[in-house]
Amino acid sequence: MSLDGIVTRALAHELEQTVSARIHKIHQPSPHDVIFHMRFGGANHKLLISANPTYPRVHFTEQSFSNPSEPPMFCMLVRKHCEGGFVERVEQVGMERIIHLYIRQRDELGDESVKKLIIELTGRHSNIILVDPATNQIIDGIHHVTPSISSYRIVMPGFSYVEPPEQQKANPLEVDFKTFEHLWQQTEQEADGETDPSTDAADGPHQPAKWLVQHMSGISPRIANEWQYRAEHDMTASKSRLARAWDAFHTLMESVRSHQYVPTILEDEAEKVYFSALPITHIQGKSTQYEVMSTCMEAFYGEKAIRDMVKQRVGDLTRFLQQERIKNEKKLKKLQETLDEAQDADKYRIMGELLFASLHQLKRGDRTVELVNYYDEDGKTIHIPLDPLLHPSDNAQRYFKKYNKAKNSMQVVEEQIAAAQKENDYYDILLQQLSEANVQDAQEIREELIEQGLVRDRDRKSKRKKKDARPTIYCYTSSEGIPLYVGKNNKQNEYVTNKLANANDTWLHTKDIPGSHVVIRSEQFGDSTLEEAAQLAAYFSQAKHSSQVPVDYTLVRHVRKPNGAKPGFVIYERQKTLYITPDAQRIANMPFQMKQSGNA
């Protein structure tokens, strides 16, 4: 893991500039993340604190986050005790991945109180815990740890805060040469306490990097490998192995002690990406250095965390839609079999009539009969199976019942097939939209599925729905300076087409292919604007990786939604068609803005 005690120390040192900073807003955009809006140095800043099990981190950020309509309970508690307060001090616990923020706030009665925000960046056990330092009592934690999860420490409101278990390692910043030498000569022991005969105590451990991680806190395997590399490449002949090891260790720790960091992101030859607060020389590859650790963390984690959040939000919806589509495919197969069987309805009628005409030839107990088919021009015989338990006339009636049932079912089955195919078309549209969705788009698609009764509302506490809630829309600007509005889900498509656009604006959509509605918000425009709008329609469609994609365009006045149609479904007329090959680079270079629809 790249986030070790050294990186945490660099971040804690950077956070020291927030001392005396005022916290004026607090948001919780996701179950793992909290955003502190602070003001210091004459400017506003956003501090991201994340207890994400995969990407735990704390750093300043420039990213924008969408917040839930109602803040979670943890967010409301942190607001109550920290919003409007000032950062009093910042501390790191030893060289561990734990940072304490002390926040002083004056309550509604005018009394001052101090709260401690504990940020534990410990992998899958990461947490953000608000504690009253006077009593060491937990006010709340972003992740609750119940007695059934851990018997060692409980993270629940009202319980005393217990620090994570100590690892019994030395603080590398407090280690002098004598301590280092003593640890160096304590070679690896076997389980029974005997010295490993393969190890020479005077020469130190045979796996130095592993030894350093085991004995020093806050040292990641990557920094340990860097230390070993530097020690082994010290070409001073007069130095012993211990001396080279100490010099390399002392040089690294002196940089950490004096806060001489070089935040770096490194991509090795196998295209694995790492970040570090110190220079890494033992890995060959492309490296990028940053002025501060926050910028480095933002560059490393930002896109990954957002991509994972989108994947999490989109994943369950995608699986649900795929499962519903598979169910419909099975249903269609059975309906088609029923329809094929119904196509033979006339055969049952003929069999029944032939049996009635030949009752004198039949008797109870017959299992089959061969009769001349008078309806066949060639006068061929027809083989008719019989139920031996039925009277001949009952056998004839049985075939007439089959005929009537098949005939009556054809219309119903055809209607069911059409409905199932429409559902699958709707699912295809949603799946295409999810493939391009960001966090906000995915949330709007979920809301649409809830409104359609396809997905249960997980937020049962939030019964209030904003009737005037408007979706996010995407506005590109053509080379002629004309706004091009794009809807990336059905809510956005309906708003762009039915509410935002004027009757004489131009509307575009891929022909018979799931995709976005695009509106040219102007009555006058040139060919270049039309082509760029068609590029957007083709790119934000299921055919984005195809060539010569057909894109229909017509005036908005010729586009309408049929009664009872699914969200986003429209019919149109008087259209013309362009054939466009989507160009991702061209789309990326177009000026772009994401807007709340109320401000469009």
On the question of pLDDT at 39 being above 70, the answer is: yes
What pLDDT score does 142 carry? 96
Find the mean pLDDT for residues 312-329: 86
| DSSP states of 27-87 | E--SSSEEEEEEEETTEEEEEEEE--SSS-EEEEE----PPPSS--HHHHHHHHHHTT-EE
Which pLDDT band, with edges at 50, 70 and 90, does 460 fall under? low
What SS3 state is found at 137? Answer: strand
- Number of Cβ within 10 Å of residue 89's Cβ equals 16
What pLDDT score does 187 carry? 59
Q: What residues does each domain of the chain span?
A: 5-141, 172-295, 311-460, 472-599
Question: Which one has a higher pLDDT value, 562 or 459?
Answer: 562
What distance lies between CA 46 and its chain's CA centroid? 22
**Pairwise CA distance, residues 224 & 222, whole Å:** 5
Residue with tokens 């020479």: 200
Question: Which one has a higher pLDDT value, 439 or 501?
Answer: 501
On the question of pLDDT at 366 being above 90, the answer is: no
Q: What are 40-61's pLDDT values in tens digits? A: 988 999 999 999 988 899 999 9
Q: Which phi and psi angles does 328 have, rounded to 5°? A: -65, -35
- Written as one letter, the residue type at 430 is L
| Cβ atoms 71, 27 nearer than 8 A | yes
What pLDDT score does 511 carry? 94
What pLDDT score does 269 carry? 81
Inter-CA distances, 345 with 124, 256, 407, 414, Å = 64, 86, 6, 15
The C-alpha angle 74, 77, 83, rounded to 5 degrees, equals 120
Q: What percent of the chain has pLDDT over 70?
A: 93
**Pairwise CA distance, residues 105 & 134, whole Å:** 14
What SS3 state is found at 546? Answer: coil
With CA atoms as reference, report the closest residue to 266 among 231, 208, 222: 222
Q: What are 66-91's pLDDT values in tens digits? A: 777 788 999 999 999 999 999 999 99
| Cβ atoms 396, 384 nearer than 8 A | no
Which pLDDT band, with edges at 50, 70 and 90, does 465 fall under? very low
DSSP symbol at 157: T
| Cβ atoms 248, 227 nearer than 8 A | yes
DSSP symbol at 454: S
What pLDDT score does 483 carry? 94
| Cβ atoms 550, 537 nearer than 8 A | no
Residue with tokens 């002949």: 237
| DSSP states of 566-600 | PTT--EE-S-EEEEE---HHHHHTS-EEEEEGGG-
Give Dmax (Cα) for the chain. 121
On the question of pLDDT at 309 being above 80, the answer is: no
| Cβ atoms 345, 336 nearer than 8 A | no
What pLDDT score does 595 carry? 66
Q: What are 240-288's pLDDT values in tens digits? A: 889 999 999 999 999 999 999 999 999 888 878 889 999 999 888 888 9
On the question of pLDDT at 321 being above 50, the answer is: yes
With CA atoms as reference, report the closest residue to 483 among 515, 525, 516, 517: 525
Domain 5-141 sits in CATH 2.30.310.10: yes
Question: Which one has a higher pLDDT value, 312 or 92?
Answer: 92
Helix (H) or strand (E) holding 105: strand 98-106
Mean pLDDT in the chain? 87
Q: What percent of the chain has pLDDT over 90?
A: 48
For residue 58, the cross-strand partners are 49
- Number of Cβ within 10 Å of residue 516's Cβ equals 26
Helix (H) or strand (E) holding 114: strand 112-120
The C-alpha angle 60, 36, 101, rounded to 5 degrees, equals 85
How far the first Cα of the chain sits from its last, in Å, is 44
Inter-CA distances, 23 with 11, 46, 79, 129, 343, Å = 18, 10, 9, 17, 74
What pLDDT score does 374 carry? 81
Residue with tokens 């009592």: 137
Burial classification of residue 434, based on how many CB atoms lie within 10 Å of its CB (0-12 exposed, 13-18 middle, 19 or more buried)? buried
Burial classification of residue 267, based on how many CB atoms lie within 10 Å of its CB (0-12 exposed, 13-18 middle, 19 or more buried)? middle
Q: What are 190-240's pLDDT values in tens digits? A: 333 444 444 444 466 778 999 999 999 999 999 999 999 999 888 776 788
Which pLDDT band, with edges at 50, 70 and 90, does 449 fall under? confident
Q: What are 521-535's pLDDT values in tens digits? A: 999 999 999 999 999
What pLDDT score does 596 carry? 58
What SS3 state is found at 386? Answer: coil
